[in-house]
């Protein structure tokens, strides 16, 4: 390690006094002007991580669904998964170190993580369309270069595309070609094969309106459009040419406000969807004939995919184990439908994609989605090998055809991470193959009315939870109070959990009517305010 070069470059990316940041589920995120030193240091960390695992590591410069003024950075591990939790701690240490301590902390990390400094390092970099992203990714490059790492800058890509490239690179091309072209070709080929099988193939063009959150999704969808079969017509809105990123649009806005984005005009029963700012989440929606807005969130997407995969698995007649992974935020109706009607096991885990991904790896076919629209499907090596073998060699026509559909599904799904483009194509293919309208899909089950609230507290750490965040352990008396409140309403449940990023406590409640869900959420928020050190005025109904 060249300590002079490190000193020199570190001085070009000084840390603002008194700033401390925490590497969370989404990496680091804050105002863009506070991130220069963090980017430089994550360049350093990526080199260390690459040497430690002797693989290519990814760095994505994005703040996803946050406002345009913000930015952030996340690291991608060798198989396209999120950074290993033990390294999140190193990331936090390195980001918060004083300028003079950098070399000492790098040496400590190398010792703790058994990093062989003599190994080569390779890093893939991607960025979103924010005005600050290009300069910040240059700071990442400075960090990589100081420690002698090699890098490939993919420039503007969606977050899932970078995850995909990293996985392709580290599987020596087994997962696919580590280029944008490779990504477009693999997905569109699988999609085209699937669409060919659909009952209405060729007769009607399938229109879908897409709100791209004024972000990277619009750029990449327009690059990919020439690869799509002619049966599919995509119409892009909020493409970033006129308005600000994520402003009154995007998947997060639509999910939270339960209303259509600005800049997309909906006619009755048209299929519409929204991506978030870095295109790793998607939600669908439509307006019915009376003009009423219907949201189809991650739970209903997971249900559609599960129905489809379960039918196919039954047809191929293999004993492959399938399960759905959800968080406590999943609507109670979706859980009930999956378990009771579809007879698919459902597992509940803590909030955060890494927890869902990890649990889904335990099954032959693991479907996971957060209600916010982030999710994918994982196929075990065993399941994938078996399916590809059947698609090639099975004598029975029906079984072989079902295996071929499954094989194309495996190729269409981005198994590294939730991917709005891939998920959209999966949904469009399933709707076409099953001949379903968006209304029929929506009618599979009816969501229980629910309400999300947050309460400001002096210190979010006073709340500790258990049972996948569904029950509060501290402060004393809070869970008992919630239990008593829940008893007052039909089909109700409620839980509270501390935010991962700010001093607020998030509250979720559902019940048989919207009025009851709202009342329950409000009563629980008062309990949190009084028992967990609420700040400011008490919550108002």
Write out the catalytic residue numbers.
Answer: 64
CA distances from 243 to 71, 246, 455 (A): 18, 9, 31
238 annotated as belonging to a binding site for a ligand? no
Alpha-carbon span 210 to 207, nearest angstrom:
10
Residue 145 token pair: 């270069």
276 annotated as belonging to a binding site for a ligand? yes
Report phi then psi at 497, rounded to 5. -150, 145
64 annotated as belonging to a binding site for a ligand? yes
493 annotated as belonging to a binding site for a ligand? no
H helical segments located in 330-459? 332-336, 353-360, 381-393, 397-412, 420-434, 438-442
SS3 74: strand
Residues 36, 139: contact at Cβ < 8 Å?
A: yes
Alpha-carbon span 526 to 541, nearest angstrom:
10
Residues 469, 482: contact at Cβ < 8 Å?
A: no
**Considering only CA atoms, which of 180, 156, 168 is closest in space to residue 62?**
156
372 annotated as belonging to a binding site for a ligand? yes
> Using CB atoms within 10 A of its CB, is residue 36 exposed (0-12), middle (13-18) or buried (19+)?
buried
> Using CB atoms within 10 A of its CB, is residue 314 exposed (0-12), middle (13-18) or buried (19+)?
exposed
- SS3 for 295-307 is EECHHHHHHHHHH
Residue 169 token pair: 């690179």
Alpha-carbon span 146 to 1, nearest angstrom:
8
CA distances from 286 to 204, 297, 301 (A): 19, 12, 14
41 annotated as belonging to a binding site for a ligand? no
> Which residues does residue 380 pair with via DSSP β-bridges, in sequence order?
none
506 annotated as belonging to a binding site for a ligand? yes
Q: Are strands 282-287 and 232-237 parallel, antiparallel or unpaired?
A: unpaired
Residue 389 token pair: 């073998």
Alpha-carbon span 409 to 422, nearest angstrom:
10
Alpha-carbon dihedral angle through residues 401, 402, 403, 406, given to the nearest 10 degrees: 120
Alpha-carbon span 179 to 155, nearest angstrom:
12
Report phi then psi at 383, rounded to 5. -60, -45
537 annotated as belonging to a binding site for a ligand? no
497 annotated as belonging to a binding site for a ligand? yes
Binding residues for substrate: 370-372, 497-501, 506
Binding residues for Mg(2+): 64, 276, 278, 280
Binding residues: 64, 276, 278, 280, 370-372, 497-501, 506
């Amino acid at each position: 390690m060249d300590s002079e070069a490190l000193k020199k470059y570190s001085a070009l990316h000084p840390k603002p006094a008194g700033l401390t940041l925490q590497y969370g589920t989404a990496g680091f995120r804050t105002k863009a002007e506070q991130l220069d030193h963090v980017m430089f240091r994550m360049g350093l960390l990526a080199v260390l991580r690459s040497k430690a695992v002797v693989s290519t590591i990814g760095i994505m410069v994005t703040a996803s669904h946050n406002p345009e003024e913000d930015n952030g950075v996340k690291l991608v591990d060798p198989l396209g998964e999120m950074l290993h939790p033990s390294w999140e701690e190193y990331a936090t240490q390195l980001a918060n170190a004083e300028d003079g301590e950098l070399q000492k902390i790098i040496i400590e990390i190398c010792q703790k993580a058994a990093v062989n400094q003599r190994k080569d390092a390779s890093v893939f970099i991607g960025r979103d369309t924010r005005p600050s992203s290009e300069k910040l990714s240059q700071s990442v490059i400075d960090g990589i270069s100081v420690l002698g790492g090699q890098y490939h800058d993919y420039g503007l890509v969606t977050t899932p595309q970078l995850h995909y490239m990293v996985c392709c690179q580290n599987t020596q091309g087994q997962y696919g070609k580590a280029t944008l072209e490779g990504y477009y070709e693999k997905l569109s080929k699988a999609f085209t094969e699937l669409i060919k099988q659909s009952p209405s193939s060729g007769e009607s063009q399938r229109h879908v309106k897409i709100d791209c959150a004024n972000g990277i999704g619009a750029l990449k969808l327009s690059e990919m459009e020439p690869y799509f079969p002619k049966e599919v017509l995509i119409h892009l809105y909020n493409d970033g040419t006129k308005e600000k990123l994520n402003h009154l649009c995007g998947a997060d806005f639509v999910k939270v406000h339960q209303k259509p984005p600005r800049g997309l005009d909906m006619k009755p029963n048209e299929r519409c969807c929204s991506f978030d700012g870095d295109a790793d989440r998607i939600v669908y929606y439509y307006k019915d004939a009376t003009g009423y807005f219907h949201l189809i969130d991650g739970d209903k997407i997971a249900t559609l995919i599960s129905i489809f995969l379960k039918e196919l698995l039954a047809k191929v007649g293999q004993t492959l184990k399938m399960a759905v992974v959800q968080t406590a935020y999943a609507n109670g109706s979706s859980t009930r439908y999956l378990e009771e009607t579809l007879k698919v096991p459902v597992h509940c885990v803590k909030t955060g994609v890494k927890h869902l991904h990890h649990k889904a790896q335990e099954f032959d076919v693991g479907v996971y989605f957060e209600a916010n629209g982030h999710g994918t499907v994982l196929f075990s090596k065993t399941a994938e090998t078996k399916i590809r073998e059947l698609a090639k060699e099975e004598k029975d026509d029906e079984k072989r055809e079902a295996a071929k559909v499954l094989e194309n599904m495996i190729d269409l799904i981005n198994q590294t991470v939730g991917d709005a483009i891939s998920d959209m194509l999966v949904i469009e293919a399933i709707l076409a193959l099953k001949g379903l309208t968006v209304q029929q899909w929506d009618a599979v089950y009816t969501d229980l009315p629910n309400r999300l609230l947050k309460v400001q507290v002096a210190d979010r750490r006073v709340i500790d939870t258990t049972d996948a965040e569904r029950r509060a352990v501290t402060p004393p008396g809070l869970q008992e109070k919630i239990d008593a409140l829940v008893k007052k309403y039909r089909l109700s449940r409620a839980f509270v959990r501390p935010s991962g990023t700010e001093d607020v406590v998030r509250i979720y409640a559902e019940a048989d009517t919207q009025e009851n869900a709202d009342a329950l959420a409000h009563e629980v928020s008062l309990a949190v305010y009084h028992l967990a050190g609420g700040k400011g005025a008490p919550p108002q109904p």
